[in-house]
């Protein structure tokens, strides 16, 4: 629970675990275990730094616990983060999808006016992503890709490419998240949107 407040205290249960944004905050004393995110104070409402910090912290936990079986690919949540930031900062509708679901609906939207942002690091799903890019290009869609540095296959297929360092597959979500956040930021600036105080959003949200 990266965003929590004093109202947790009466409902705290033994055995609680927390992913927290900073050391020393009072609510965290109620938990049996706390995993702190290695970032400073978050100023902007969109919380891009908090997302990246929590990603790193949870990755450390996941590596400690071991690899989870029964799934494929790890960048889908990053696609969701990129789509969310476009909505929050630039007020632009966007959706994140796994590469394997391209033909289960999203492909119907592809036309020359639709930009498709593809996460294409050189990982186990690389050939699948290449196939999706070719499907988009065959329908005259615009492709912007986040790809591993020096990837000529992506460079020859995508209209725009943002390179990230070639690294372990386990680290690609951290590297791929930042270009998506920057994309949302720059589109928001071009649209004269307030990137630090997006409309209708607040830094702290109270839910019942």
- Res 48: pLDDT: 86
Domains, the chain, in order of start with CATH, read 6-65 (no CATH), 76-190 (3.40.50.10490)
- Res 96: pLDDT: 96
Plot region of 47 (φ>0 → left; ψ -120 to 50 → alpha; else → beta): left
Give the Cα separation of 60 and 85 in Å (integer). 24
What is the average per-residue pLDDT within 180-193?
A: 97
What is the average per-residue pLDDT within 43-67?
A: 81
174 falls in which pLDDT band (50, 70, 90)?
A: very high
Does the pTM exceed 0.85?
Answer: no
Q: Is the pLDDT reported for residue 2 higher than 50?
A: no
* β 115-120/142-148 pair status: parallel
Reported as a single tens digit per residue, the pLDDT across 100-135 is 899 889 999 999 999 999 999 999 899 999 999 999
40 falls in which pLDDT band (50, 70, 90)?
A: confident
Backbone phi and psi for residue 17, each to the nearest 5 degrees, phi listed first: -130, 140
Give the CA distances from residue 120 to residues 76, 78, 83, in Å, rounded to whole numbers and listed in that order: 11, 12, 16
């Amino acid at each position: 629970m990266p965003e929590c407040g004093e109202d947790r205290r009466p409902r705290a249960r033994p055995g609680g675990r927390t992913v927290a944004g900073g050391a020393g905050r009072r609510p965290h004393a109620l938990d049996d275990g706390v995993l702190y995110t290695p970032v400073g104070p978050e100023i902007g409402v969109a919380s891009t730094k908090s997302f990246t910090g929590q990603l790193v912290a949870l990755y450390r936990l996941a590596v400690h616990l071991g690899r989870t079986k029964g799934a494929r690919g790890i960048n889908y949540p990053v696609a969701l983060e990129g789509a969310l930031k476009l909505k929050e900062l630039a007020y632009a509708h966007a959706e994140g999808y796994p590469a394997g679901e391209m033909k289960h609906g999203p492909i119907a939207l592809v036309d020359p006016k639709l930009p498709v942002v593809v996460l294409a690091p050189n990982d186990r799903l690389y050939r699948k992503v290449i196939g999706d890019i070719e499907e988009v290009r065959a329908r005259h869609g615009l492709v912007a890709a986040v790809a591993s540095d020096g990837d000529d296959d992506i460079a020859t297929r995508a209209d725009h490419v943002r390179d990230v360092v070639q690294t372990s597959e386990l680290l690609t979500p951290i590297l791929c998240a930042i270009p998506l956040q920057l994309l949302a930021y720059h589109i928001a600036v071009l649209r004269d949107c307030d990137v630090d105080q997006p409309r209708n959003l607040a830094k702290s949200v109270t839910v019942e």
